[in-house]
């Protein structure tokens, strides 16, 4: 079958057309992809649609049998809601209350699976990555923003809306007087530890800070504080850390050891460096977790 996937981000929509097999759920084969800049909803959605139509025609595979979308948010995921498949209260100009899923469902006349970008990535890691065989785990992205997808009791968590894990408050590290970058909560986790927060605190973009810069020690500490909180609340079997900042070499290993400190010896199952290293890991799909995750969502329609 042919599957369409969109990693719908605030900067770009990455669209992919995949050859997939529902009988064994093996990792699908990427046939073609295109990156569309996120401008206005009308323009961005149309350009994404054009890609699916032209690529499937060029490849001679017919239009997608289903489409999966992992979107920036917040999004409306309540199936019974009249605004299901919309991006809702985002601060991104022009995208408040923008219909996304319905656009593709109508124009391609296919089922569309719609979820948060991080839930999609979590689902991709479950099928083909570092969460294979687990029933309770978290996927966190640390980059321009911080968000998390949660898989619990063998499925993605939605609940009242969907997790917004980047917005928990953390105790400040002594001596850190940076006020925080979150427009809603100032010094929440995202406000203190996202890429832009690192840039604003140190006066240099995160990518420009060398591996010995003190910024990384502080960053690892905040990540560890957050992951300890997630551990106490959710008791996941593993936490995957992706995103531009999160994938930085060595960071996951450093954070893992600090998580042990933050837990204070309370969780016996995480009482050794070896166990902690297996607990905080990088996603196996790496930078492709988002796009493959969206493809994974699309496959939910043939998995019943």
Residues that bind a second copy (CB under 8 A): 74, 88-89, 135-136, 148, 150, 152-155, 157-172, 184-185, 225, 228-237, 264-270, 279
Residue 3 or 256: the one with the smaller Cβ distance to a second copy is: 256
What burial letters (b/e) apply to 57-95, b meaning 16+ CB within 10 Å? Answer: eeeebebbbbbbbbbbbbbbbeeeeeeebbbbebeeeeb
Nearest to 28 by CA among 304, 303, 301, 294: 294
Residue 74 or 199: which CB sits closer to a second copy?
Answer: 74
Size of the chain in residues: 304
| Closest distance of CB 189 from a second copy, Å | 9
Distances in whole angstroms, Cα of residue 216 to Cα of each of 12, 176, 201, 213, 275: 27, 13, 12, 6, 23
CB-based contact 115:156 (threshold 8 Å)? yes
Distance CA 143, CA 118 (A): 12
- Which residue has 């239009």 as its token pair? 63
Taking the complex as a whole, the smallest distance from the CB of residue 271 to a second copy amounts, in Å, to 9
Task: Supply the minimum distance, in Å, between the C-beta of residue 116 and a second copy.
Answer: 10
Tell me the closest approach of the beta carbon of residue 148 to a second copy, in angstroms: 8
Three-class SS of residue 233?
helix
CB of 257 to a second copy, least distance (A): 18
CB 5 within 8 A of CB 292: yes
- Dist. CA 146–CA 195, nearest whole Å: 9
Nearest to 36 by CA among 16, 61, 66, 18: 16
Residue with Cβ nearer a second copy (108 or 182): 182
Residue 17 or 234 with smaller CB distance to a second copy: 234
Nearest approach in angstroms of CB 105 to a second copy is 23
Whichever of 35 and 144 has its CB closer to a second copy, that residue is 144
Comparing CB distances to a second copy, the nearer of 34 and 158 is: 158
């Amino acid at each position: 079958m042919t599957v369409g996937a969109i990693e719908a981000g605030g900067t770009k929509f990455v669209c992919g057309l995949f050859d997939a097999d529902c009988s064994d759920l093996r990792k699908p084969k990427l046939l073609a992809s295109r990156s569309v800049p996120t401008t206005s909803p009308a323009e961005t959605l149309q350009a994404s649609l054009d890609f699916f139509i032209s690529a499937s025609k060029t490849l001679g595979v017919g239009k997608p049998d289903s489409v999966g979308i992992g979107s920036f948010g917040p999004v409306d995921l309540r199936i019974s809601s009249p605004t299901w498949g919309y991006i809702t209260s985002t601060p991104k100009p022009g995208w408040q209350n923008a219909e996304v899923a319905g656009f593709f469902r109508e124009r391609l006349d296919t089922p569309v699976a719609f979820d948060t970008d991080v839930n999609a990535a979590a689902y991709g890691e479950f099928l083909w990555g570092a969460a294979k065989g687990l029933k309770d785990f978290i996927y966190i992205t640390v980059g321009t923003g911080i968000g998390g997808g949660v898989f619990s009791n063998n499925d993605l968590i939605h609940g009242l809306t969907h997790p917004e894990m980047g917005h928990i408050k953390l105790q400040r590290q002594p001596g850190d007087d940076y006020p925080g970058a979150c427009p809603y909560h100032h010094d929440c986790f995202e406000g203190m530890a996202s890429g832009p927060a690192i840039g604003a605190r140190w006066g240099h973009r995160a990518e420009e800070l060398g591996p010995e810069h003190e910024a990384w020690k502080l960053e690892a500490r905040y990540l560890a504080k957050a992951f300890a909180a997630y551990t106490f609340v959710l008791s996941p079997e593993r936490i995957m850390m992706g995103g531009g900042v999160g994938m930085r070499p060595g960071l996951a290993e450093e954070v893992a050891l600090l998580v042990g400190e933050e837990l204070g010896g309370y969780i016996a199952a995480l009482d050794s460096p070896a166990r902690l290293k297996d607990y905080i890991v990088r996603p196996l799909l790496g930078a492709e977790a988002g796009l493959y995750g969206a493809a994974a969502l699309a496959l939910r329609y043939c998995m019943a």
